[in-house]
Amino acid sequence: MALVFPRSLSQWTTTQIEKDGVKVLRNSTVTSIQSAEDNGVKLILDNGEAIQVDHVIVAIGVEPRVDLARQAGLEIDGRLGGVVVNTELEGCSIFFGFHYNVFPLLNVPRSDVFVAGDISSFYDNILGRRRVEHHDHLEIYVSLTPCLISAMLSGRLAGENMVGAKKPYSHQPMFWSDLGYEAVGLIDSQLNTVSVFSKTKQGSLISTSSENSSDTHKSSAAESAVTSIDHENFGKGVVFYLNDSKKIVGVLMFNVFGKVQVAREILGGSYSQQDINTLIERFDIHGGAQQ
């Protein structure tokens, strides 16, 4: 979580996991995995320690296999990985050695190959080129909001465009956890953040900011103060992620449910840090029961 959360929220997440009986090994790396007795598995850490376990779950993301796409002459995204697609999720052919990422205005020949899901490096009209590994990026999303009843995600949209629909992909994928958060947009601890939380006991509002959340040496004084407070006192909250221009490019909602579409609308509205005091009212972090 340290890769995506501000330091305070990352610490809270670790605490909650430990309360559920999980032993968290901080600053440790698994260097090798070996067979152990009784059909177990032995993990060797970078400090030389060996830990025997029954099962291993590897949750480190995916690296797209693009060999076939490369052989077919499709553009491969060297930075994000995956296959470069246009707004209709159609793969882009390499044009006389020029790449679509470098010359996006060229009339690059269409490939008649459509790419959806984790392997697609698509252009987001709001956030720029992206490749995401989120659940709802793969499936069909139907919202109760009338204007979004027919909203399509990458799989169905690619299928429709194969038969000539020519619809652009504009959905903002989200991800969530049973720990109680939902997130939309660019969620990266390398970005600056502004966090607004409601304390459950006092009902007061706490606002913190962090310049480059992942750098513990550069965290603001406000954030350092908040991390020293018992996290059990915190209720609902929203973390806004900002780019270098202070524009809001990501929204993480903690213990705030049913507001994903609100977050999507904020990302599409070109809001900046100065708008946060007004935007936080749309999340109703003081009202309703927590889940």
pLDDT, tens only, 125-159: 899 999 987 655 444 444 433 333 233 478 888 99
Last residue of a domain, one of 151, 171, 191: 171
In a domain, 50, yes or no: no
CATH number of the CATH domain containing 274: 3.30.390.30
Least confident of 54-58, 93-97, 129-133: 93-97
> Please, which pLDDT band fits residue 206 given cuts at 50, 70 and 90?
low
Least confident of 64-68, 119-123, 181-185, 197-201: 197-201
Is the same domain home to 236 and 153? Answer: no
pLDDT, tens digit, for every residue of 19-43? 899 999 988 999 999 998 788 899 9
CATH number of the CATH domain containing 101: 3.50.50.60
> Please, which pLDDT band fits residue 76 given cuts at 50, 70 and 90?
very high
pLDDT, tens digit, for every residue of 267-286? 999 899 999 999 999 999 87
Could you tell me the residue range of the domain that residue 242 belongs to? Answer: 176-283
Q: What is the largest CA-CA distance in the chain?
A: 65
Does 173 score more than 90 pLDDT?
A: no
Last residue of a domain, one of 153, 171, 189: 171
Least confident of 3-17, 91-105, 232-246: 91-105
Question: What pLDDT score does 238 carry?
Answer: 95
In a domain, 61, yes or no: no
In a domain, 57, yes or no: no
In a domain, 207, yes or no: yes
Is the same domain home to 193 and 114? Answer: no
Q: What DSSP string runs through 52-67?
A: EES-----S------H
What pTM value is reported for the model?
0.75
| Strand boundaries in the chain, DSSP class E | 30-35, 41-45, 50-53, 83-84, 90-92, 110-114, 120-124, 128-130, 174-177, 181-185, 192-199, 205-210, 234-242, 248-254
